[in-house]
Amino acid sequence: MTTDGTPTFRRGTGAPQPAGTWDWYGDFDPAHSTPPEEFETFSIGVFQWVAKNQGNGTKKSKIVRRFTAPVAHPEQAYTKALAFITQQAQGR
């Protein structure tokens, strides 16, 4: 969470982030890759970065929720993911 209470999130690249940061990632997310032509939809998994048990750094938590959208309209998945992240950050 930021100091004003909004959730900390970013569009996923798979690169580690600070513990507690919400993120999403999908192998065929049109934001960072080109899905194969035969794919009409893609999905992103929402997760939180957590501290590693040993040593420094962070790792991805298990996927908390998955969202699917048409490849042609990826913002549908992003909007749903952001709404979910906001709910989680508010403790709902």
Look at residue 17 in the predicted model and tell me its pLDDT: 87
Say if CB 58 and CB 19 are below 8 A apart.
yes
Confirm whether pTM is higher than 0.85.
no
From first to last of its 92 residues, the chain has per-residue pLDDT tens of 455 555 555 566 678 888 888 899 988 888 877 777 888 999 999 999 999 988 789 999 999 999 999 999 999 999 999 999 989 888 76
Rounded CA-CA distance 24/60 in Å is: 10
Look at residue 16 in the predicted model and tell me its pLDDT: 87
